[in-house]
């Protein structure tokens, strides 16, 4: 099992997909997620990119030592993996919690980031979302329904069952620590300084992070592109993987083409 051992003893599990000589693309999954969350997208993303996917500390097959964490902790893990794998500058694709890590990475290590894809995520410390921007009308016995657009689980039970089977295991207290890291993190005031090509990708029916927050994020980052996936929920890459991958790949192709033209 490929892994990187950090100085504090944390073991980070990672996988590599696609041609080794291609432009690196690192995937940062959401809170409680794992590499398996990208399984519907990895074949397409790996056709033209050297894809690096890893489990955040405490998620999936990565460990989490007994110590407090901040968003910066996850950024440091990601940078260490870049260095360990010799990735150089990479496209960075983060969804949900991973999108917050991606923002902080680009703000503090811009030299390592070729472009950003921020999906189903928000800025830390931004304006509050309007009260009617999202609905969490799900039974308490099945909170995972909020990850999908309304009605998706009922219409696609086998699909959702497969997601649940692949759901990431978390170490005790890992989710609580990630929540604490997220609550104390702020990016809003710093985002106008970003000078990295950025795509903001969001499902219009996201019930956890309403699409209004995606619009705010795109408006806050200079020259960011916004793509809304009509009818998709928070797990947009599960509900509409082909459309999501097409939007991401078109964006990355554009970034790479502009860089080649500037050489």
Supply the pTM of this predicted model: 0.94
> What does the pLDDT look like over 96-117, one tens digit per residue?
999 999 999 999 999 999 999 9
Per the structure, the count of domains in the chain is 1
Q: Per residue in 168-221, pLDDT tens?
A: 667 777 888 888 899 989 999 999 999 999 999 999 999 999 999 999 999 999
Contact 168/35 with Cβ under 8 angstroms? Answer: no
Sign for the CA dihedral angle at 93, 212, 206, 249 comes to negative
Residue ranges making up the domain that contains 38: 3-262
Whether the per-residue pLDDT at 80 is higher than 70: the answer is yes
Percent of the chain whose pLDDT exceeds 90:
73
Task: Return d(Cα 98, Cα 111) in angstroms, integer.
Answer: 19
Cα 77 to Cα 55, 72, 189, 211: the distances in Å are 10, 9, 24, 29
Would you say how long the chain is, in residues?
Answer: 263
Is residue 234 within 8 A of residue 208, CB to CB? The reply is yes
Sheet containing 225-229: give its strands across. 3-5, 11-17, 50-54, 24-28, 90-95, 113-119, 198-203, 225-229
Could you tell me the CATH number of the domain that includes residue 8? 3.40.50.1820
Q: Which among 100, 96, 79 has a CA at the least distance from the CA of 88?
A: 79
């Amino acid at each position: 099992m490929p892994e990187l051992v950090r100085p504090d003893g944390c073991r980070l599990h990672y996988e590599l997909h696609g041609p080794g000589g291609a432009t690196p693309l690192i995937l940062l999954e959401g809170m409680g997620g794992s590499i398996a969350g990208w399984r519907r997208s990895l074949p397409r993303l790996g056709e033209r990119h050297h894809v690096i996917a890893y489990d955040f500390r405490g998620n999936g097959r990565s460990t989490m030592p007994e110590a407090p964490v901040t968003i910066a902790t996850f950024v440091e893990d990601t940078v260490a993996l870049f260095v360990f794998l010799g990735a150089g500058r990479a496209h960075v694709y983060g969804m949900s919690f991973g999108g917050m890590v991606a923002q902080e990475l680009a703000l503090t290590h811009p030299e390592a980031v070729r472009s950003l894809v921020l999906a189903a995520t928000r800025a830390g410390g931004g304006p509050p979302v309007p009260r009617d921007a999202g609905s969490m009308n799900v039974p308490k016995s099945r909170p995972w329904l909020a990850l999908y657009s309304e009605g998706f689980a009922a219409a696609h039970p086998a699909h959702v069952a497969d997601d649940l089977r692949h759901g990431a295991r978390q170490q005790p207290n890992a989710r609580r620590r990630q929540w604490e890291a997220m609550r104390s993190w702020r990016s809003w005031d710093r985002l106008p300084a970003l000078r990295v090509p950025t795509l903001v990708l969001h499902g219009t029916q996201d019930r956890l992070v309403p699409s209004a927050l995606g619009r705010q994020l795109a408006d806050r980052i200079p020259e960011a592109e916004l793509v809304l996936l009509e009818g998709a929920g928070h797990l947009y890459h599960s509900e509409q993987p082909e459309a999501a991958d097409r939007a991401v790949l078109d964006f990355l192709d554009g970034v790479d083409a502009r860089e080649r033209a500037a050489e």
